[in-house]
Amino acid sequence: MFVGLYFGSFNPVHNGHLQIAGEMLRQVGFDELWFVVSPQNPLKEISNLASNAHRLAMLRLALDDVALPVKVSDVEFGLPIPSYTFKTLEMLSQDHPTYRFALIMGSDNLAVIEKWKEYQHLLEKYPVYFYPREGDNSEALAAAYDAQKVNASLLDISSTQIRNLVLGEKPIEHLVPSKVAAYIRDNGLYR
């Protein structure tokens, strides 16, 4: 089984995440794509981070009506914080010895991969598929890290933008699945 691992805080998950997942499945040919919810990215602030339970619940709601071979993984919740991708991959590879895993990320993350713990080990052992971000140099990144660029649509959506809209009491239904918008509202998140 060939599995694409899409790591993120998903704070909150949005339509862009789902579109990227669909593009990755179609263009790369993964058997499954797993959304791996990270409890804490060591390279990001955690001040506006919703709880693990809330982010996991929103992701599950977002995938409820998606007809793609996707699933949600909370594997990092049982690992020490901050979570390091190489540790997660070691554990997943031990738990699923017959699976082949690959990393999915945006070009913004690939551009800073040298800040990741054990990044050389990751690049040697696991293929990387990345989607472009506005203003990146995708060809240089692909060459520098032997990564495969996937031509996913450039969407101008970010979780930060959504959190700011919620804080300003503006609508977000056009940016997130309706069940996620309702969950954010019902649970008073990001206010």
Condensed to tens digits (0 to 9), the pLDDT of residues 131-190 reads: 988 788 899 999 999 999 998 876 778 999 999 999 999 999 999 999 999 999 999 999
Mean pLDDT computed over every residue of the chain: 93
The model's pTM is 0.93
Which fold, 2-156? Rossmann fold (3.40.50)
- What distance in Å separates the CA atoms of residue 113 and residue 82, rounded to the nearest whole number? 16
Say how many residues make up the chain: 191
Query: Which pLDDT score is estimated for 43?
Result: 55
Query: Which pLDDT score is estimated for 41?
Result: 61
In the chain, where the domains are located: 2-156
Largest CA distance in the chain: 48
Among residues 93, 78, 82, which one has the least CA distance to residue 5?
A: 93
Q: Please report which residue ranges of the chain form alpha helices under DSSP H.
A: 15-28, 52-63, 85-95, 107-110, 119-125, 138-145, 159-167, 178-187
